[in-house]
Amino acid sequence: MLSFNFELLRKQRRQLGLTQEQWGKILGVTGATVGNWERAVSFPSVQDLTKVATVCGVSDINEYFYERIGEK
């Protein structure tokens, strides 16, 4: 089973030295939306994740943003 790593979104933003508002402007969403993602209140769309991955230089969204849980 795959679980989305919401904390990684916050980590990436902070590594870039951006506020939630700045990060939102780059991604075309509001700062509140970014905050909701980081707190796992809402989930970013595939399009939004693709934008995050592009800015962060990530080629495989599934490998980067998802972690396997409950598998032996």
pLDDT of residue 42: 92
Q: What is the pLDDT of residues 6-63, one digit of tens each?
A: 888 898 899 999 999 999 999 999 999 999 999 989 988 989 988 988 888 888 777 6
The domain 2-68 is classified under which CATH number: 3.40.930.10, 1.10.260.40, 1.10.1740.10, 3.30.930.10? 1.10.260.40
d(CA 18, CA 2): 28
Q: Measure CA 14 to chain center.
A: 12
pLDDT of residue 70 exceeding 80: no
pTM: 0.80
pLDDT of residue 30: 97
Nearest alpha carbon to residue 4 among 33, 45, 55: 45
